[in-house]
Amino acid sequence: MGVFRVRIQVFSLKNPEQRHELDVVVDTGATRTVVPRAMAVQLGVLPEKQQSFHMINGEKITREVAWIGVTLQGNSAHTEAILGEAGDTPVLGALTLEELSLEVDPTRGLLRPAEGFLLVAA
């Protein structure tokens, strides 16, 4: 499939009309979305906690995490995002894709509306 990018809008949940656009790498192997910490600060987003993460190369890092809003293809969602530091790549992760009801079309390298989600009957 290869790597591809999309442009999202990021906003504060307390002030949704204030938004910034951001080019991100779509990465279904990444659990969480990564947005620049500096952008979150400009939007008035406050970090809620610090959390440790393992990079693909095995390196362990610690980053702040906060709830933000994301808009893409006319859909908006609230998502818990990693506040990236200088040098961190902005990423659209798997949880945010699900929250936006989007899925990756691997043959075309683009996002499309999810056709359905698997639910387990109890």
Mean pLDDT of 114-122: 70
- Global pTM? 0.89
Percent of the chain whose pLDDT exceeds 90: 77
pLDDT digits (tens, 9 = 90+) for 50-107: 999 988 788 899 999 999 999 999 999 999 999 999 999 999 999 999 999 999 987 8
Q: What are phi and psi of 99, to 5 degrees?
A: -65, -30
What number does CATH give the domain 5-113?
A: 2.40.70.10
Residue 78: is it exposed, middle or buried by C-beta count within 10 angstroms (0-12/13-18/19+)?
middle
Mean of per-residue pLDDT scores for the chain: 92
